[in-house]
Amino acid sequence: MPPAPRIQGPSIDWPTTLNEHQLAAVNHREGPQLVLAGAGSGKTRVITYRIAWLIRECGIDPAAISAVTFTNKAAGEMRERVEHLAGYSVSRPFVGTFHRFALVLLRRFGERVNLHKDFAIFDTKDQLQLVKKALVAEELSETSFSPRAVLSTISGAKNLLLSPNAYEENASDFFSRRIARVYRRYQGLLREAGAVDFDDMLFFAVRLLRQDEEVLGGYRRRLEYLLVDEFQDTNHAQLELVKILGGETPNLTAVGDEDQGIYRWRGAELDNILDFERHFPGAVVRKLEQNYRSTQTILDASGAMVENNESRRGKRLWTDEEKGDPIRIFKGADEGDEARWIVNGLKQRRDDYDLREMAVLVRTHSQTRALEEELLRQGVPYQLIGGVRFYDRAEIKDLVAYLRVLRNPRDNHSFDRIVNTPPRGIGGGTLSQLAEHAETMGVTLWDALLQNQVLDSIPARGSKALRSFRDFMLALMEDAEHLDMPELLGRLIEESGYAEALIEKDDSESRSRLENVEEFRSAAQEFSEGRPDQSPFECLTDFLDHVSLTSDLDSQQENGGVSLMTLHSAKGLEFPVVVVAGLEEGILPHFNSQETREDIEEERRLLYVGMTRAMQHLSLTCCRRRRIAGRYQDQIESSFLAEIPDEFLDVEVSSHRVMDERSREVYSFFRTPGASSGTTGGSMPSVGPPRVSSSPRPTGSPTSSGGLQQGTQVMHPTLGKGVVLEVIGSGEQGRISVFFERWGKRMLVAKYAKLDVV
């Protein structure tokens, strides 16, 4: 067949289409270059126009050009733009993800590194199953070695290009030596299945190119130009792949922004962009500082904040657009007050902007509950991006199913969901036998469970587990008659083992799910406080109805409303109107990210990403008190807020103030029995007078490590009660090692620790 005719792209006036610095990056001819592209400065534009320039102006064969990025979506959009600008023929540039590049390489040459030619690619579920098999084979319990945590550790080793042998050589403690055995066993199981995981693709691609000169030589001869997007997000394996392909004098264009590096927790190494010239000697570094998205006020405010990071190369973004409105800061009384202010503000913008042009960004998924309910209450359509609606999340559905069985034990559907959740040794066979008895007797599963003769007919192990579950539920049913719903729910979460099961896994997903569980307790507390005259059982019934109606309204929401998403999900997006909610210590920066300077700096970059999503209007909010696990806790506003110069801010303090105890016009949470025992000190003086408390507690000013010593008992607003193990250094930058009753050992930076001495 004759070659397909080349389709010419549109005419391009390069100097008019691109600014001076973009044009310099686009027509860079030889050698490595790093393009530091600030937020909204045209990063993707530079990559796509550079490919078009190489093809159209330099006559480079499209097949000699490869561009790699991190997501299939980004690659798809880039590919479309390249084809529009450059036209295409029978040969096209490779535009895809790192993993797609590695896959193409291994499909062709994988047998040279002992991979099956038709190897399968295992997803996360497949991987977890293999890890569990490996744990069984090594006689290690899932309780002590969470499969997800083990898989995460193995993934980290592969990203560092450590084989099982290399990892074992570096194993220096009990845990890592056991992981080394599991890693070796896991790789054996993958090999038996003729499969690889996603980390393997990069691992074996690097191995292949390192050890096979013929393959490497062929790729180097063919691949004349390499472009890498989001270079700040590359890990060690990806950096090595780029270095190997490029050789000593690579024609490499790397584009990225160290201020938007927010995936360190996923293995990204910021030093790859910070030390670019060391990795690629002779590199030219260019900065794109003209912003085409945000007002100058937003750029100056976010820039002043992120300048507090040490790990950065530095840039100052500017725009030809207007200065813009000040950034609005709202300091609310609680999360309900915060949600009302946010939704009211969005509604006020509807005359000028479509709801689809507005976004509310949060640090964690658990924060969306109050926002979702307020949006629903005021009839404002919304769409949850990159997550599941609060009441649709698996852990929430589990707890709702428990409550439904307490109210109506004949609910077979809910019974099925909870009987072995969390796992308590009631397998499918046992449940089938119980169901057969129930069907024969013409009764519900619960009624069958109450019959001792039914349980006597089931094998001992399953029968014992069923009796234990039955007795636990019977005790809870008695409690439901007289306990307030929040207390009932708290007992359910603890005594069922649900919270314990999540804590033991100790991975990012489980921690997120536990935060959602605690937020559900807050929802129950908030609901019950509004019904002081109802009996506990009536309140439970109404709460379940409320949840059902809210979930049903959720399902009726149409796309096209306000976008509600986490800060991580917002990267790469832009909106005329943006609100970043929950700027409080422990939320942003998150309490899981306060152990080192690097952790704090990544949280600061995360806020920077959120702020620079805004085009015209930006608001930041925080609360004086936030309900955590059903009880209000005093919050300290995020230290990041103090890093934004006052000249860019318009601060509004909530009109809902904390009054003295004699006034009954305060929010009901100030009358919650025992609320003070769940709070720590803290001050947001501009929000209102000091809180009402039956027992004064120490203030929550930043902890000084000099005031603590080994053995001191402390209280943290989120982590709970703990004991100091070690104090390292002094002053606000000192570090404090604390063992918490529920969370184990944590290392905290003194400045952000928020520890009260018990």
Tell me if residue 613 is catalytic: yes
- What mean pLDDT comes out for the span 119-144? 85
If we measure between CA atoms, which residue out of 620, 755, 625, 626 comes closest to residue 684? 625
CA angle 670, 675, 677 (to 5 degrees): 140
Share of the chain above pLDDT 90, in %: 39
Please count the other Cβ atoms lying within 10 Å of the Cβ belonging to residue 291.
22
Q: At 705, is the pLDDT very low, low, confident or very high (cuts 50, 70, 90)?
A: low
Are the beta carbons of 465 and 425 closer than 8 angstroms? yes
Query: Which of residues 703 and 714 earns the better pLDDT score?
Result: 714
pLDDT single digits (tens) 142-181:
877 888 889 989 999 999 999 999 999 988 888 889 999 9
pLDDT single digits (tens) 548-569:
656 544 444 445 799 999 999 8
Q: How far apart are CA 154 and CA 180, in angstroms?
A: 8
Q: Kindly compute the dihedral angle of the four CA atoms of residues 292, 295, 298, 299, in this order, to the nearest 10 degrees.
A: 50
Tell me if residue 712 is catalytic: no
- What mean pLDDT comes out for the span 197-210? 94
pLDDT single digits (tens) 605-653:
999 999 999 999 999 999 998 887 667 788 889 999 999 999 999 999 9
Find the catalytic residue in 33, 43, 430, 515: 43
pLDDT single digits (tens) 10-30:
778 888 889 999 999 999 989
Q: What is the 3-state secondary structure (H, E, C) of 160-192?
A: CCCCHHHHHHHCCCHHHHHHHHHHHHHHHHHHH
Q: What is the pTM of this model?
A: 0.70
Q: What is the pLDDT of residue 680?
A: 33
Query: Which of residues 698 and 87 earns the better pLDDT score?
Result: 87
Q: What is the pLDDT of residue 5?
A: 44
Please count the other Cβ atoms lying within 10 Å of the Cβ belonging to residue 58.
11
- What mean pLDDT comes out for the span 183-191? 92
Please count the other Cβ atoms lying within 10 Å of the Cβ belonging to residue 6.
14
Q: How far apart are CA 201 and CA 106, in angstroms?
A: 8
Q: How far apart are CA 634 and CA 624, in angstroms?
A: 6
Q: What is the pLDDT of residue 205?
A: 95
Q: At 667, is the pLDDT very low, low, confident or very high (cuts 50, 70, 90)?
A: very low
**What would you report as the CA-atom Rg of the chain, rounded to the nearest whole angstrom?**
29
CA distances from 419 to 368, 475, 604 (A): 29, 15, 43
If we measure between CA atoms, which residue out of 579, 666, 683 comes closest to residue 625? 683
753 has pLDDT over 70: yes
CA distances from 665 to 262, 523, 614, 662 (A): 43, 21, 37, 9
If we measure between CA atoms, which residue out of 71, 232, 155 comes closest to residue 601? 232
Tell me if residue 229 is catalytic: yes
Q: What is the 3-state secondary structure (H, E, C) of 689-717?
A: CCCCCCCCCCCCCCCCHHHCCCCCEEEEC
Q: Kindly compute the dihedral angle of the four CA atoms of residues 569, 570, 571, 574, in this order, to the nearest 10 degrees.
A: 160
Tell me if residue 541 is catalytic: no
Find the catalytic residue in 83, 197, 229, 756: 229
- What mean pLDDT comes out for the span 204-210? 95
CA angle 673, 374, 391 (to 5 degrees): 80
pLDDT single digits (tens) 49-104:
999 999 988 889 999 999 998 887 888 888 888 888 877 655 688 998 898 899 88
Side-chain-side CA neighbours of 644 within 13 Å: the count stands at 26
Q: How far apart are CA 52 and CA 84, in angstroms?
A: 9
CA angle 672, 678, 681 (to 5 degrees): 110
Tell me if residue 444 is catalytic: no
Eight-state DSSP code of residue 430: H
pLDDT single digits (tens) 526-535:
888 877 777 8
Domains (range + CATH), the chain:
14-108+203-288 (3.40.50.300), 123-192 (1.10.10), 327-381+562-682 (3.40.50.300), 391-546 (1.10.486.10), 705-757 (2.40.10)
- Output the CA torsion sign for 394, 398, 399, 400: positive
The tokens describing 444, both together, are 């519900």
Q: What is the pLDDT of residue 668?
A: 32
- Output the CA torsion sign for 133, 135, 138, 139: negative
Side-chain-side CA neighbours of 257 within 13 Å: the count stands at 26
Q: Kindly compute the dihedral angle of the four CA atoms of residues 483, 485, 487, 490, in this order, to the nearest 10 degrees.
A: 130
Q: How far apart are CA 503 and CA 509, in angstroms?
A: 11
Q: How far apart are CA 509 and CA 506, in angstroms?
A: 8
Instruction: Tell how strand 720-728 and strand 713-716 pair up.
Output: antiparallel
pLDDT single digits (tens) 362-384:
998 889 888 998 998 899 999 88
Find the catalytic residue in 83, 197, 200, 230: 230
676 has pLDDT over 50: no
Q: Which distant-in-sequence residues (6+ apart) come within 8 Å of 620 by Cβ?
A: 327, 328, 329, 330, 579, 580, 583, 611, 641
Helix, strand, or coil here: 67? strand
CA angle 370, 687, 658 (to 5 degrees): 80
Tell me if residue 43 is catalytic: yes
**What mean pLDDT is reported for the chain?**
83
Find the catalytic residue in 33, 69, 253, 260: 260
pLDDT single digits (tens) 263-311:
888 888 999 999 999 999 999 999 999 999 999 999 999 999 999 999 9
Q: How far apart are CA 87 and CA 14, in angstroms?
A: 16
- Output the CA torsion sign for 718, 724, 727, 730: positive
Residue written as tokens 């949600």? 339
CA angle 705, 710, 713 (to 5 degrees): 85
Find the catalytic residue in 613, 626, 735, 746: 613
Query: Which of residues 407 and 620 earns the better pLDDT score?
Result: 620
pLDDT single digits (tens) 314-365:
899 999 988 999 999 999 999 999 999 999 999 999 999 999 999 999 998 8
Q: How far apart are CA 426 and CA 462, in angstroms?
A: 6
pLDDT single digits (tens) 470-520:
998 898 888 888 888 888 888 888 888 888 888 777 677 787 788 888 888
pLDDT single digits (tens) 220-251:
999 999 999 999 999 999 999 999 998 888 99
Q: How far apart are CA 11 and CA 13, in angstroms?
A: 7
If we measure between CA atoms, which residue out of 742, 690, 692 comes closest to residue 715? 742
Eight-state DSSP code of residue 655: S
Q: Which distant-in-sequence residues (6+ apart) come within 8 Å of 375 by Cβ?
A: 343, 381, 382, 561, 562, 564
At 225, phi and psi to the nearest 5?
A: -135, 130
442 has pLDDT over 90: no
